[in-house]
C-alpha cells in the first residue's frame, strides 16, 4: 500500500500543511513500485531526508504503457474532442491556482529554490502554461489542399499516441507543465518520469490531475532513476515518442536508445553555455542587473543561463565593479526566509560538481574575483562566484557548470566577440546589450542560438518558442510550435471520381 | 429613467430582475436627451413584460466615446492577451452559473423553449466565449524575410478599434456571444446594439460583464431602434468597424452608411433562402429528419433555414410522405411548456409577414400539404406549413419568409438540382443528402453557399467558420476566421542597415 507524505510548513514566509499519496500514479491509481523499493527525498537546505517515495522499475513502465494505450484507444486520443480536453486542462490550471502556495512550498522544500521565486515564477508560469495549452486543445487544425474536383485531399494532425516525458530537477513543476500542456492538449497519453531528486510537486500534481477528471491512463507518473525508468522509456517498443529535458550527455543516450528501439520521435532540451554580450554602448546599470539575473537566477541551475559574460573593453572596469557589487548584494539563505534570493544547490552531487569546476578554474589560472566557496556549514549552499582573467580553453569557459558561477570576459572587437560567442557546441540562448538597435539586432541575428535576447536575459513566455541550436537540443517547446512535437500528420487522399 | 424591473415568470412563480438603463462605462444610465422607451413583449402572451430605455443617437455618441477611451487606456494594446483570456473565461463561467435564469429570460422575451435556450443557445454561447478566450493570447503576426542584411520586416495583428455590433432577435444570447467573443479576444472595444425586440438578455449579460471584471467602456450595450441607434453606429465617424446580423435590406443600409461616413470596415450576416437537395440514394428517413430540423428549428426564424427542398423525381412521393409525418411531430407552443419543440414567432409584425407569404403561396397556386391554417388563440403561433407544386417565380420560393414555411420542388438530374439550388441571390447555407460519395463531393463543390452540409443540416460548431456568399453576407464568423474581422494588419519595415543615397541613382 502506497504511503502518504504529511508535512507542516511553519516558516517565516509560509505556514501551511500538505498531505498526499507518494506512490506511483498509474491508470488513475496510486500504487507501490513493482519491487516495493523507495527513493529518499532530500531537503538540500539541510541535507536531510524528508520522506520516501515509491520507486518505479521497468516493469512499472510496461504496466503504465499498457494502461496508456488502452486509454488512448478508448477514452482519450481522438475519442475525447478538443473542447473536452480544453475543459480538463482549464480545470487543472484552476486547481493548481487553488493550491499554488502549497505547490510553491513543496518546490522550495524539494529543490531548494526560494519560496518567493517558486511562487512568483515557477508556479505562476506553470499555471499560465497549462491555461495557454488548454486554449489550443480545440484549435488543432489540419489543411485542405486543392488538387482537383475529383479528389478530396486533406491532412489530419493526429495525436502521436503514448509519449514518454523525462523532466529535470531545476524547475520541476514548470518543466512538468511545459511537457504536459501540449501533449495532453493534442490528445496524447503520457508516461512521465520526474527527476529522482525532485519528485514531490509532480507527485502532488497527480491528485490534482485526478481531481480535474482526466480519464485513468491518460497521465501516468513513474518516479525512478534515469538508468532504469528513463532507459526503459527511451528504449520502449510501445512508446511512440520521447521528450527529454536534461544534460546533453543523457540526451545522447536517449536519442541512441530511441534509434535502437523503435525509431521513436524525439525532442531534446539540453545544456547550454550561453553568451551574454555587453557592448560599450549598453545601458550599463541595466546590463549589470540583467547579467546578474542571467547567471544567478535559480542558483545558476538554468539551461539558458548567461554564463559567459562578454564585456567590451571600454566599459569593462565599470561593469566589473558594478556587477561585483550587485552580486555581493544577493542574499544567500534559507528558501523560506523572507528576503532570501538564493537557496542551496539541489543536491550533494551538484554541489560537488560545481565546487570541482570552481577548483578547476583556480587550477587553470583564472582569478576568483568574488566568492568561489561554500556558504554556511549546513546544506548545499554556494556563494555567487565571479571568475575573471580566463582563456577560452578553460573548463569553466567551455563546459556547463550549472551553478552560480559567472565568467566575465573582456573583448575589443565586435566580429571577434561574435566568433567567440558562437565557438561552442551549445546553442541554447544568447543575449546582447546595446542601445544601438541596429548593432543589437544584427548581432542577435548572427548568434547561433535558439533564443536571442536583446537588452534582457532569461525572459520566457508561454507563447514564445524555446529550444536549442546545435547540441543544445532538437525541437521547440512553448508557443504554437510545441504542438508539432506531439502531432502526427496524416494525409488523406479521397478519390471521388478518377477511374484507373 | 434608469432602474431595475422585476419581470414575473408566472409558470415558475418567480421574478427575474433586469436593469433597464443603457449600459455605458459599466453603469446603467438614462438617456442623455430622450425619454423614449422600448416596450418588450412576450410573444406567447402578446403582453408587455418590461420597458427599457431607448437609446438616442446622442447616447450612441456617449457610448462610442466610452469605448474609444477604454481602447486608448485600459484595453486595445494596453491589455495583454492573457488578461483578455482570463476575463473572457470568467465571463463564460458566470454565464454558466446563471444559465437557468438567463434561459428563462430569453424564453420570456423571445419565446423559444427554455431547455433549448439553456442547453443550445446558452450552452453554445458559453463554449463560444471559452473558445475565443483560448485565442486571445495566440494572436501572432509574421516575420518575413526581405533582406537579412538591411531589413527586419514583420506584421502586427492589431485590434481594429471601436466596433459597433448590431445583433438580431432570433438568437439574442447566442448572437451576442458570436459577436462579442472574437472582438474581445483580439482587443477591440464594443458598442453593442441588441435588437429592439429582444434587448433584455443583453442587458442582463451586461451585469455579468461588470462582475467578471472588464474595465469600464470595453463593452457597452445600447438598446435602441435600428433606425436610430443602428443607423447612428453605421454612420459614426469614430467607429472603426461595424458588424451586423439581420435582414439583407438593412445590411445594404449599413454598408451604405459605412461608405458614406468613414469607410469603416463592414461585416454582414444577412438573409438566406437555403436549399436542401434530396438525391435518390439518400437515406430518406434521415433526410426527412434533417429537412424537418432545417425548417422547424427556432420556428423557422433562422438565417440558414432550409426553406426550399428539392427532391429527385424517383423518390419524390415517398419522401413527401415521410417528411410530412416527421414535421407533424413537432409541437409549437409556449416556451415554458416541456412538450414544446418550437415557440411562437417573435412579434406581430413577423406574424403578419409570414401569414402574408402563406396567403401569397395559396394565391399563386402552390398546394398546401401541411398546415396553412390559423390558430384562434393568443400568441404569435404559426404551425409548420409545407407547400408543393411550386415554381421558381413564386414569392414563397424566391423570398425569405423567416417562419416555418417550406417549399418543395422536384428535379430529374443532378445538374437540374444544382441549378435550382443556386437560382437565388442568397448564398448562406445548403444541404445535400446522398450516399454517393462522388456526388457529395461534386455537388458540395458546386453549391454557392458559405456553409454546405452533407447528410446533415443546421448543425454548427464554434470552431468552424460561418458566413454567406453572394447577398447573404460579407465576412465570416466563428472559427479562427472571425479573428480576421476584428484585426487590422500593420506591416513594419525596420531598417537595420540601409543608408539611403540621395538623389537616387539609376
DSSP run (H or E) holding A369: strand A367-370
Measured in degrees and rounded to the nearest 5, phi and psi for residue A413 equal -110, 135
Q: Determine the 3-state secondary structure of B164 from DSSP.
A: strand
The residues with which B388 forms a beta bridge, in sequence order, are B367
| B138–A135 C-beta distance less than 8 A | yes
| B152–A128 C-beta distance less than 8 A | no
Which of B138, B148, B495 lies closest to A463 in CB terms? B138
A480 Cβ under 8 Å from any chain B Cβ: yes
pLDDT number for residue A496: 87
To the nearest 10°, the Cα dihedral for B99, B100, B105, B107?
Answer: 110
For residue B265, pLDDT over 60 is answered with yes
Alpha carbon A46 to its chain centroid, in Å, reads 24
The residues with which A387 forms a beta bridge, in sequence order, are A368, A407
Which of A86, A136, A497 lies closest to B438 in CB terms? A497
Distance (Å, rounded) from C-alpha A408 to C-alpha A319? 10
Distance (Å, rounded) from C-alpha A465 to C-alpha A459? 11
| A82–B463 C-beta distance less than 8 A | yes
A189 Cβ contact list (under 8 Å, min separation 6): A68, A69, A71, A72, A76, A77, A161, A162, A163, A217, A218, A219, A220
Catalytic position from the list A102, A196, A269, A477 = A269
Outline where B403-501 has alpha helix (H).
414-422, 437-446, 481-485
A128 Cβ under 8 Å from any chain B Cβ: yes
Distance (Å, rounded) from C-alpha B162 to C-alpha A327? 49
For residue B1, pLDDT over 60 is answered with no
Q: Determine the 3-state secondary structure of A59 from DSSP.
A: helix
pLDDT number for residue B100: 97
B288 Cβ contact list (under 8 Å, min separation 6): B319, B322, B323, B326
A136 contacts on B by Cβ (under 8 Å): 134, 138
Point out the least confidently predicted range of A116-130, A286-300, B490-504. B490-504
Q: What is the distance in angstroms between the Cα of A136 and the nearest Cα belonging to chain B?
A: 7
A138 Cβ under 8 Å from any chain B Cβ: yes
pLDDT number for residue A1: 52
- B448 counts as catalytic: no
For residue B117, pLDDT over 90 is answered with yes
To the nearest 10°, the Cα dihedral for B144, B146, B151, B153?
Answer: -20
| B138–A136 C-beta distance less than 8 A | yes
Distance (Å, rounded) from C-alpha B399 to C-alpha B353? 11
Residue A26 DSSP code: E
pTM: 0.93
pLDDT number for residue A424: 97
B494 contacts on A by Cβ (under 8 Å): 441
Outline where A330-413 has alpha helix (H).
348-363, 395-398
Residue B215 DSSP code: P
| B133–A138 C-beta distance less than 8 A | no
Max intra-chain CA distance, chain B: 87
As a three-state string, the secondary structure of B140-158 is CCCEECCCCCCEEEEEEEE
pLDDT mean over B234-243: 98
Mean pLDDT of chain A: 97
| B441–A442 C-beta distance less than 8 A | no
CA neighbor of B480 nearest in space, from B181, B80, B71, B81: B181
Q: Please report the number of interchain residue pairs, chain A to chain B, with beta-carbon separation below 8 angstroms.
A: 68
A496 contacts on B by Cβ (under 8 Å): 437-438, 440-442
Distance (Å, rounded) from C-alpha A77 to C-alpha A75? 7
pLDDT band for position A497 (cuts 50, 70, 90): confident
| A462–B497 C-beta distance less than 8 A | no
A131 Cβ under 8 Å from any chain B Cβ: yes
Edge-to-edge, what's the strand order for the sheet holding B189-193?
B27-29, B22-24, B219-221, B189-193, B162-166, B241-245, B265-269, B473-474
Which of A128, A149, A442 lies closest to B442 in CB terms? A149
Which of B130, B441, B497 lies closest to A438 in CB terms? B497
Q: Which residue is closest to A480 within chain B, CA to CA?
A: B138
DSSP run (H or E) holding B293: helix B284-296
Q: Determine the 3-state secondary structure of A394 from DSSP.
A: coil
| A496–B437 C-beta distance less than 8 A | yes
Q: What is the distance in angstroms between the Cα of A236 and the nearest Cα belonging to chain B?
A: 35
Where b means 16+ CB within 10 Å and e means fewer, B258-288 reads beeeeebbbbbbbbbbbbbbbbbebebeebb
B140 contacts on A by Cβ (under 8 Å): 463, 480
Distance (Å, rounded) from C-alpha B136 to C-alpha B89? 11
pLDDT band for position A2 (cuts 50, 70, 90): low
Report percent pLDDT > 90 for chain B. 95
pLDDT number for residue B320: 98
pLDDT mean over A156-164: 97
| B152–A86 C-beta distance less than 8 A | no
Q: What is the distance in angstroms between the Cα of B150 and the nearest Cα belonging to chain A?
A: 9
Catalytic position from the list B104, B106, B207, B269 = B269
Q: What is the distance in angstroms between the Cα of B137 and the nearest Cα belonging to chain A?
A: 7
Point out the least confidently predicted range of A282-291, A331-340, B145-154, B408-417. B145-154
Q: Which residue is closest to B495 within chain A, CA to CA?
A: A438
pLDDT band for position A148 (cuts 50, 70, 90): confident
A97 Cβ under 8 Å from any chain B Cβ: no
pLDDT band for position B498 (cuts 50, 70, 90): confident
Distance (Å, rounded) from C-alpha A229 to C-alpha A63? 12
A497 Cβ under 8 Å from any chain B Cβ: yes
B437 contacts on A by Cβ (under 8 Å): 494, 496
| A441–B496 C-beta distance less than 8 A | yes
A87 contacts on B by Cβ (under 8 Å): 130
pLDDT number for residue A149: 81
The Cα angle at residue A253 between residues A247 and A259, in degrees rounded to 5: 135
Q: Determine the 3-state secondary structure of A477 from DSSP.
A: strand
For cell 492573457, name the residue: B82
CA neighbor of B178 nearest in space, from B492, B445, B481: B481
pLDDT number for residue B506: 80
A205 Cβ under 8 Å from any chain B Cβ: no
pLDDT mean over A401-418: 97
pLDDT mean over B245-259: 96
pLDDT number for residue A453: 97
| B441–A149 C-beta distance less than 8 A | yes
CA neighbor of B177 nearest in space, from B162, B160, B190: B190
Q: Prior bond to B503 cis, omega within 30?
A: yes
For residue A486, pLDDT over 70 is answered with yes
Report percent pLDDT > 70 for chain B. 100
Distance (Å, rounded) from C-alpha A486 to C-alpha A157? 9
Instruction: Take residue A375 and report the three cell numbers written for it.
Output: 556558504
DSSP run (H or E) holding B68: helix B57-73
| B148–A139 C-beta distance less than 8 A | no
pLDDT in tens, B348-383: 999 999 999 999 999 999 999 999 999 999 999 999
Amino acid at each position: 500500500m502506497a504511503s502518504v507524505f504529511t508535512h507542516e510548513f511553519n516558516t517565516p514566509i509560509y505556514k501551511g500543511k500538505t498531505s498526499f499519496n507518494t506512490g506511483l500514479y498509474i491508470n488513475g491509481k496510486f500504487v507501490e513500485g513493482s519491487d516495493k523499493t523507495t527513493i529518499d527525498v532530500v531537503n538540500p537546505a539541510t541535507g536531510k531526508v524528508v520522506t520516501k517515495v515509491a520507486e518505479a522499475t521497468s516493469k512499472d513502465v510496461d504496466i503504465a504503457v499498457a494502461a496508456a494505450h488502452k486509454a488512448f484507444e478508448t477514452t482519450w486520443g481522438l475519442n475525447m474532442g478538443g473542447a473536452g480536453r480544453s475543459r480538463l486542462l482549464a480545470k487543472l490550471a484552476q486547481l493548481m491556482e487553488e493550491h499554488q502556495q502549497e505547490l510553491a512550498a513543496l518546490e522550495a522544500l524539494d529543490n531548494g529554490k526560494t519560496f518567493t521565486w517558486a511562487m512568483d515564477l515557477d508556479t505562476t508560469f506553470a499555471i499560465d502554461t497549462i491555461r495557454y495549452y488548454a486554449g489550443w486543445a480545440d484549435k488543432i487544425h489540419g489543411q485542405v489542399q486543392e488538387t482537383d474536383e475529383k479528389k478530396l485531399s486533406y491532412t489530419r494532425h493526429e495525436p502521436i499516441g503514448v509519449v514518454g516525458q523525462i523532466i529535470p530537477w531545476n524547475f520541476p513543476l514548470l518543466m512538468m507543465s511545459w511537457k504536459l500542456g501540449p501533449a495532453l492538449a493534442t490528445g496524447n497519453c503520457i508516461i512521465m518520469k520526474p527527476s529522482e531528486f525532485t519528485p514531490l510537486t509532480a507527485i502532488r500534481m497527480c491528485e490534482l490531475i485526478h481531481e480535474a477528471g482526466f480519464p485513468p491512463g491518460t497521465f501516468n507518473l513513474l518516479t525512478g532513476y534515469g538508468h532504469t525508468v528513463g532507459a526503459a522509456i527511451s528504449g520502449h517498443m510501445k512508446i511512440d515518442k520521447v521528450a527529454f529535458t536534461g544534460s546533453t550527455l543523457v540526451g545522447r543516450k536517449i536519442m541512441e536508445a530511441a534509434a535502437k528501439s523503435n525509431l521513436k520521435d524525439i525532442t531534446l532540451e539540453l545544456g547550454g553555455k550561453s553568451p551574454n554580450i555587453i557592448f560599450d554602448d549598453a545601458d550599463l546599470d541595466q546590463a549589470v542587473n540583467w547579467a546578474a539575473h542571467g547567471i544567478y537566477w535559480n542558483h545558476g541551475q538554468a539551461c539558458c543561463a548567461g554564463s559567459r559574460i562578454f564585456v567590451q573593453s571600454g566599459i569593462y572596469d565599470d561593469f566589473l565593479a558594478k556587477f561585483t557589487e550587485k552580486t555581493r548584494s544577493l542574499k544567500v539563505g534559507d528558501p523560506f526566509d523572507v528576503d532570501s534570493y538564493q537557496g542551496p544547490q539541489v543536491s550533494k552531487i551538484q554541489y560537488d560538481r560545481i565546487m570541482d569546476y570552481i577548483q578547476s578554474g583556480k587550477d587553470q589560472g583564472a582569478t576568483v574575483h568574488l566568492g568561489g566557496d561554500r556558504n554556511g556549514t549546513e546544506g548545499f549552499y554556494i556563494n555567487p562566484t565571479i571568475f575573471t582573467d580566463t582563456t577560452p580553453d578553460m573548463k569553466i569557459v567551455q563546459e556547463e557548470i550549472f551553478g552560480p558561477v559567472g565568467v566575465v570576459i573582456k573583448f575589443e572587437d565586435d566580429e571577434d566577440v561574435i566568433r567567440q560567442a558562437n565557438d561552442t557546441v551549445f546553442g541554447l540562448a544568447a543575449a546582447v546589450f546595446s542601445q544601438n538597435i541596429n548593432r543589437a539586432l544584427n548581432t542577435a541575428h548572427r548568434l547561433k542560438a535558439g533564443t536571442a535576447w536583446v537588452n534582457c536575459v532569461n525572459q520566457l513566455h508561454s507563447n514564445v518558442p524555446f529550444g536549442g541550436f546545435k547540441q543544445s537540443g532538437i525541437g521547440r517547446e512553448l508557443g504554437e510550435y510545441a504542438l508539432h512535437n506531439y502531432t502526427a500528420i496524416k494525409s488523406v487522399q479521397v478519390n471521388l471520381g478518377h477511374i484507373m | 429613467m434608469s432602474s431595475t424591473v422585476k419581470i414575473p415568470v408566472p409558470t415558475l412563480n418567480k421574478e427575474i430582475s433586469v436593469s433597464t438603463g443603457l449600459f455605458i462605462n459599466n453603469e446603467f444610465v438614462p438617456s442623455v436627451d430622450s425619454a423614449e422607451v422600448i416596450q418588450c413583449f412576450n410573444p406567447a402572451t402578446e403582453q408587455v413584460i418590461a420597458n427599457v430605455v431607448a437609446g438616442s443617437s446622442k447616447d450612441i455618441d456617449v457610448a462610442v466615446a466610452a469605448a474609444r477611451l477604454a481602447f486608448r487606456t485600459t484595453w486595445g494594446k494596453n491589455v495583454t492577451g492573457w488578461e483578455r483570456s482570463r476575463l473572457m473565461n470568467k465571463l463564460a463561467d458566470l454565464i454558466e452559473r446563471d444559465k437557468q435564469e438567463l434561459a428563462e429570460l430569453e424564453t420570456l422575451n423571445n419565446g423559444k423553449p427554455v431547455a433549448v435556450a439553456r442547453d443550445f443557445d446558452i450552452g453554445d454561447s458559453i463554449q463560444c466565449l471559452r473558445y475565443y478566450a483560448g485565442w486571445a493570447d495566440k494572436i501572432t503576426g509574421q516575420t518575413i524575410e526581405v533582406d537579412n542584411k538591411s531589413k527586419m520586416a514583420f506584421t502586427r495583428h492589431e485590434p481594429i478599434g471601436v466596433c459597433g455590433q448590431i445583433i438580431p432577435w432570433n438568437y439574442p444570447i447566442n448572437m451576442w456571444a458570436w459577436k462579442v467573443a472574437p472582438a474581445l479576444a483580439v482587443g477591440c472595444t464594443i458598442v453593442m446594439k441588441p435588437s429592439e425586440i429582444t434587448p433584455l438578455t443583453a442587458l442582463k449579460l451586461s451585469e455579468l460583464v461588470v462582475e467578471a471584471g472588464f474595465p469600464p467602456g470595453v463593452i457597452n450595450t445600447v438598446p435602441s431602434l435600428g433606425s436610430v441607434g443602428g443607423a447612428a453606429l453605421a454612420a459614426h465617424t469614430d467607429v472603426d468597424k461595424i458588424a451586423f446580423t439581420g435582414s439583407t435590406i438593412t445590411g445594404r443600409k449599413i454598408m451604405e452608411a459605412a461608405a458614406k461616413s468613414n469607410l469603416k470596415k463592414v461585416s454582414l450576416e444577412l438573409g438566406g433562402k437555403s436549399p436542401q437537395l434530396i438525391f435518390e440514394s439518400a437515406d430518406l428517413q434521415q433526410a426527412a429528419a434533417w429537412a424537418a430540423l432545417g425548417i422547424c428549428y427556432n420556428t423557422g426564424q433562422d438565417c440558414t433555414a432550409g426553406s426550399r427542398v428539392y427532391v429527385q423525381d424517383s423518390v419524390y412521393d415517398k419522401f413527401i410522405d415521410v417528411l410530412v409525418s416527421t414535421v407533424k411531430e413537432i409541437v409549437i407552443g409556449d416556451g415554458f411548456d416541456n412538450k414544446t419543440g418550437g415557440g411562437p414567432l417573435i412579434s406581430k409584425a413577423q406574424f403578419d409577414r409570414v401569414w402574408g407569404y402563406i396567403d401569397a403561396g395559396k394565391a399563386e397556386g402552390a398546394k398546401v400539404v401541411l398546415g396553412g391554417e390559423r390558430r384562434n388563440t393568443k400568441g404569435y403561433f404559426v404551425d409548420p406549413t409545407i407547400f408543393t407544386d411550386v415554381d421558381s417565380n413564386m414569392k414563397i420560393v424566391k423570398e425569405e419568409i423567416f417562419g416555418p414555411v417550406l417549399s418543395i420542388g422536384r428535379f430529374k438530374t443532378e445538374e437540374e438540382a444544382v441549378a435550382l439550388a443556386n437560382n437565388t441571390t442568397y448564398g448562406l447555407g445548403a444541404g445535400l443528402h446522398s450516399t454517393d460519395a462522388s456526388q457529395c463531393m461534386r455537388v458540395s463543390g458546386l453549391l454557392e453557399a458559405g456553409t454546405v452540409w452533407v447528410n446533415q443540416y443546421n448543425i454548427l460548431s464554434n470552431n468552424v467558420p460561418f458566413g454567406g456568399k453572394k447577398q447573404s453576407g460579407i465576412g465570416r464568423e466563428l472559427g479562427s476566421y472571425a479573428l480576421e474581422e476584428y484585426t487590422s494588419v500593420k506591416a513594419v519595415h525596420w531598417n537595420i542597415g540601409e543608408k539611403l543615397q540621395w538623389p537616387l541613382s539609376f
